[in-house]
Structure 1
Amino acid sequence: MRRIILAAALLFSLPALAGPQVKGKFDLFLNGVNKGFEKFKIETKKGELLLSSEVRFKIPMEKAKRKYIELYLYPALATDPATGKFLQYSYRVTFNDYSKTDMVEAQDSATEFLDQDWRTYDLFNRQAQLQEDEMANRIDLGVNSGKIFPIGKTLHFEQTRFSDGRVKDEALPDEITIIDAYTFCPYIHLAKTALAMSGPSHPLTLVLPQAMSLRSGTLEAMGVDQAPFRGRTLLLKHFDVLIEDGVLASFWLDQKGEVVLVVNPHEGLVASRDEYEPVPFEREAPRMVRQVVEAGGAFREERVRIPSGSITIGATLTLPQGEGPFPAVLMVQDLAPLDRDGNDPSNPYVLSGTWKQLAAALAGNGVASLRYDARGVGESGGDVHRTLPGERAADAQALYEWLKARPEAAPGRVGLLSQGLGGWIAAAVASRVSPAALAALAYPAKPLARLWKEQVGTMADPQNRQTAYTELSAVEGALQTPTEEWATFRGAKVYLPAVRELWAVDPLALAGALRIPCLFAYPERGLVIQAFHADVLAPALHEGQEVRSLPGVGHYLTAQETEGGGSGVVDGKVSGEVAEWLKKAMAQVPAP
């Protein structure tokens, strides 16, 4: 288990936070489960601006009788109220086990935890604690306390109890950011620096109090993106704290500069602001997406709302520079609840915007496109949890007809571009509207039942794999009961009426029945739909349809050098290859 080192973030010189006492609270979650809270206050006290808090958190611990120990943390950060100059940081940590474990087990449990936290100490003097342990019917696993303060040009560390009075001095950097375990509220200070950044990044010197060390880091401004907050998504300003090129922590601010959310993406640790209503930002693409899109050249975009039955669908029309009309495609995404840019609003930690990048690449190659929010996502109406494939196909058909009627779209040169299971939707629409061409990325060539078994079989963890097989068997049984609406598969709820429709799809027959130019392109390193699906599909195709491998990329056309890891940047060569195929295929169709 990596050391979780989210927390106090202070620059050496900061604007003073003046005014009356300010109080607030974060709820703390571990892997989605509420495990505690942090209450903080900011006040002027004895000539100091003091930021202090109380953290209570349940730490999973296998050796403890109740399988957890309780963490109590009391940090305090003092600055000069007039200048913002750093004066002192102090902390006190207590680990308690209320489960009547004996002393040996308690020490083992605490040692295990502290080893994970990059520290191994002689935990406590047992005799000194024995009377209190018996009276309180608990084991106090010890308190590690310490403080840090500048002395001239030196940054002085003191640490007591666990370490029996360690001290250390380091040269005082011009600018420091303190990082301590499990405390989140001092990101309030770092927020001031984040909002004042004039460029995309800012160098940091990170101070780790309990490790008594300094590390180099960077503060990165990632732009405004969607973040989950208490059952909804808000547009918040996103910043990352990087250490040795890895994301140590991510945090999100609202328009008032208040810290709303802090996340350790590797540990599943989340701090969500409580008793506060954020003021969200207007929409803005993440910085990485903006950089990739801008590198693709100039283009025009128009946000539109398009009727589809009883709802409207939010979409974006992207047009190349110059005079039209242009060849154009409707971009049909995978069946996940994605927004028009290719992001899952419920997961703010993956914001590559690959669909937006692909739209920009198409425009750079002279192809217009229309991409859209899935039902119930973003600006689209409907219920994201109860959407049927037939409804998705109806939406796609309405959007295709809208695009076809636009003056910017060249007559007879409007096609479809799909990804993943969106290929089944696109193929169904193509059978009705006869588009100029279809380019299907990672088209699943196996029925859903076999596809899900295949995906479960690639899971690395044997226990998780067996659990998923059991859940899949339960899903198959539930499908036989028409009144059943919900089941669980791979830890998520699935809407059985939608699964029933997909269960009946014959992907080979669906693709083989099309009589238009088709490209079925398979990412060589795809983990969602593996490349061998090309061999499964090829015998079902006919003249004018082809399969092709897309080398070096994963499911979302991003560089995928190792299993499970992608760069987040769409491969320009691959996207250009897809765009060129579409232009050529649509140019061969006789104009109406």
Structure 2
Amino acid sequence: MATMTVTGSELVVALSGSEKVAGVHGDIRVPLSAVRDVAVVDDPVTGVRGLRAPGLAVPGRTKIGTWRRQGGRTFVVARRGTPAVRVTLEGAGYTELMVGDTDAQALADRVRAAAGLPEPAAEERVTFPSGDLTLGGTLALPPAGAGGAGPHPVALVITGSGPLDRDANHRSMRIGTSRDLAHALARAGVASFRYDKRGVGESQGDYLAAGLHDNVDDARAALDWLRSRPEIDPSAVFVIGHSEGAVITTALAAEPTADLAGIVLLAGMAKTGEETLTWQTRQIAGDLPAPVRLVLRVLRTDVIAKQAEAVSRIKATTTDVAWIQGRKTNARWTREFIAFDPAPHLRALRVPVLAVTGANDVQVDPADLETIAALVDGDVTTVLVPGVSHLLRREGEGDGGLRGYKQQVRRPTDPEVLALVTDWITGRLLPADL
């Protein structure tokens, strides 16, 4: 079976003869400087997503070779019943290496130390109730050297829109923003909790049937569960929301019983949902590739008019799910999002607020930061981050706008954004809290 070793300044994956044939690949060498993260995967055979190209797969038993997905490539040598070490890379051809090892944790520790990475958060996969449903999530505690014995200050991390798991990953795009935030917080001595949306990952329910207010209910249930944990300081609870998560955070924090130490709105909107969709459509229409714009002109198709038509049709629906323009749509969520006005909630906030938006965001108007600052009556900090997109990534040459998302997700969440969040939260804690 393949072995992963550290040799000098390189990480080496040595394949057996049969693995080279099955994977259509030779041994792999990458510089340790390219290693961005190391983790243990208990079930690597089912944990690999994407299309095999090229390689060998025996369903449920073995995966050897290259798996490609939007935004990355993973080289895998994994067998059922054997855990694997997953190494996340940047600038090394592959975005991930996943290699099985019977003592995967010890190997992961060696690779992490050789790459000079900080000690990881102590993560626990858990479940919690929300109404009649059971949802799955991950509680991340600071490593021993960063957070002391506890109880710890904590941040609930809420993902953006779409069927996203606890790490903010979609089945076709691994965004990973929530996971990056959780690990940055752990290094700063702050615990965190992130969870799968309804009908995603380990959470019960139906994603398409869930409304925006259901998602607020789930976030409230997560907070209640979090405060019950002995490792958590219930007087130092923050909420961080990205995109839709910022909408949920705003609604949750405005409730009189929220009792939060502060909130962070990442790409948060100040317009109504309908106004935001209209603004978003105008940005995206201008970002379409030239050939597509040409076809639309030939067909006399007005993208903005089509979007307005779709919104009008959704408003007329009464079911949870509806077919709109040939697509099965989460109609109730969309109706509730269109009607949502963050302004009264922002006015009602009585907790410290950090609002951060990328200057290159094409899904939420960066100018909304000024409105947030004007509406919040109290401690509010707004930051416009130059060169950063809605995905909280730094845009590179030629990968701006929606078209660049699949390139952007190959890079980690922008370090400046992570530092803004962690510094702001730790700056509002008493020395005894850390």
When normalised by structure 1's length, the TM-score is: 0.53
State how far apart, in whole Å, the 2-side matches of 1:390 and 1:258 are. 41
Match of 1:235 in 2: 47
- CA deviations over 1:338-376 (Å, ceiling 9, x no partner): 11111102x0xx324222111111111111100111111
Q: Secondary structure at the match of 2:302?
A: helix
For the 8 Å contact 1:415–1:438, the answer to whether it is kept is yes
State how far apart, in whole Å, the 1-side matches of 2:423 and 2:23 are. 47
Write the letter of the residue equivalent to 2:305: Y
Could you tell me which of 584, 587, 591 is aligned with 2:427?
A: 584
> How does 1:26-175 map onto structure 2 within 5 Å?
none
Match of 2:385 in 1: 550
Write the letter of the residue equivalent to 1:398: A
Cα 1:282–1:545 change in 2 (3 A) is: same
For the 8 Å contact 1:191–1:258, the answer to whether it is kept is no
Match of 1:326 in 2: 152
Residue 524 of structure 1 and its aligned partner are, at CA, apart by 2.3
For the 8 Å contact 2:209–2:321, the answer to whether it is kept is no
For the 8 Å contact 1:191–1:257, the answer to whether it is kept is no
> How does 1:192-591 map onto structure 2 within 5 Å?
192-193=23-24, 197=27, 234-236=46-48, 253=57, 256-257=61-62, 287-288=88-89, 295-322=117-144, 323-345=149-171, 347=172, 350-432=173-255, 433-459=258-284, 460-461=287-288, 462=293, 466-467=302-303, 469-482=305-318, 485-488=321-324, 492-562=327-397, 563-564=400-401, 565=404, 566=408, 567-587=410-430
Residue 538 of structure 1 and its aligned partner are, at CA, apart by 2.6
Write the letter of the residue equivalent to 2:139: L
Q: Secondary structure at the match of 1:479?
A: helix
State how far apart, in whole Å, the 2-side matches of 1:237 and 1:474 are. 32
Cα 1:265–1:447 change in 2 (3 A) is: same
State how far apart, in whole Å, the 1-side matches of 2:383 and 2:152 are. 25
Residue 298 of structure 1 and its aligned partner are, at CA, apart by 3.1
Write the letter of the residue equivalent to 1:342: A
Q: Secondary structure at the match of 1:359?
A: helix
For the 8 Å contact 1:518–1:544, the answer to whether it is kept is yes
Cα 1:259–1:279 change in 2 (3 A) is: same
Residue 505 of structure 1 and its aligned partner are, at CA, apart by 1.2
State how far apart, in whole Å, the 2-side matches of 1:294 and 1:351 are. 24
Residue 522 of structure 1 and its aligned partner are, at CA, apart by 1.1
Match of 1:45 in 2: none
Residue 386 of structure 1 and its aligned partner are, at CA, apart by 1.0
For the 8 Å contact 1:225–1:238, the answer to whether it is kept is no
Q: Secondary structure at the match of 1:422?
A: helix
Cα 1:250–1:418 change in 2 (3 A) is: farther
State how far apart, in whole Å, the 2-side matches of 1:251 and 1:353 are. 26
For the 8 Å contact 1:223–1:284, the answer to whether it is kept is yes
For the 8 Å contact 2:358–2:392, the answer to whether it is kept is yes
Q: Secondary structure at the match of 2:47?
A: strand
State how far apart, in whole Å, the 1-side matches of 2:133 and 2:345 are. 28
State how far apart, in whole Å, the 2-side matches of 1:264 and 1:333 are. 21
For the 8 Å contact 2:138–2:193, the answer to whether it is kept is yes
Runs of 5+ consecutive residues of structure 1 not aligned to the other structure: 1-12, 17-187, 202-220, 228-232, 241-248, 267-277
For the 8 Å contact 2:251–2:342, the answer to whether it is kept is no
State how far apart, in whole Å, the 1-side matches of 2:50 and 2:317 are. 45
State how far apart, in whole Å, the 2-side matches of 1:451 and 1:190 are. 52
State how far apart, in whole Å, the 2-side matches of 1:341 and 1:494 are. 23
- CA deviations over 1:79-128 (Å, ceiling 9, x no partner): xxxxxxxxxxxxxxxxxxxxxxxxxxxxxxxxxxxxxxxxxxxxxxxxxx
State how far apart, in whole Å, the 1-side matches of 2:304 and 2:139 are. 39
State how far apart, in whole Å, the 1-side matches of 2:211 and 2:169 are. 20
Corresponding residue pairs, total: 359
Residue 319 of structure 1 and its aligned partner are, at CA, apart by 0.8
Cα 1:377–1:237 change in 2 (3 A) is: closer
Q: Larger helix proportion, structure 1 or 2?
A: 2
Match of 2:100 in 1: none
Residue 418 of structure 1 and its aligned partner are, at CA, apart by 0.5
- CA deviations over 1:47-81 (Å, ceiling 9, x no partner): xxxxxxxxxxxxxxxxxxxxxxxxxxxxxxxxxxx
Residue 559 of structure 1 and its aligned partner are, at CA, apart by 1.8
When normalised by structure 2's length, the TM-score is: 0.71
Cα 1:492–1:283 change in 2 (3 A) is: farther
Write the letter of the residue equivalent to 1:287: T
Could you tell me which of 191, 206, 213 is aligned with 2:22?
A: 191
Rg comparison, structure with higher value:
1
Residue 281 of structure 1 and its aligned partner are, at CA, apart by 8.3
State how far apart, in whole Å, the 2-side matches of 1:416 and 1:354 are. 15
State how far apart, in whole Å, the 2-side matches of 1:422 and 1:257 are. 37
Q: Secondary structure at the match of 1:392?
A: helix
State how far apart, in whole Å, the 2-side matches of 1:586 and 1:540 are. 25
Cα 1:342–1:199 change in 2 (3 A) is: farther
Write the letter of the residue equivalent to 2:209: R
Residue 279 of structure 1 and its aligned partner are, at CA, apart by 6.9
Cα 1:581–1:541 change in 2 (3 A) is: same
* Higher relative contact order, structure no. (Cα contacts within 8 Å, ≥ 6 residues apart): 2
Report the more deviating stretch, 519-528 or 391-400: 519-528
State how far apart, in whole Å, the 1-side matches of 2:241 and 2:320 are. 30
State how far apart, in whole Å, the 2-side matches of 1:441 and 1:495 are. 23
Write the letter of the residue equivalent to 2:160: D
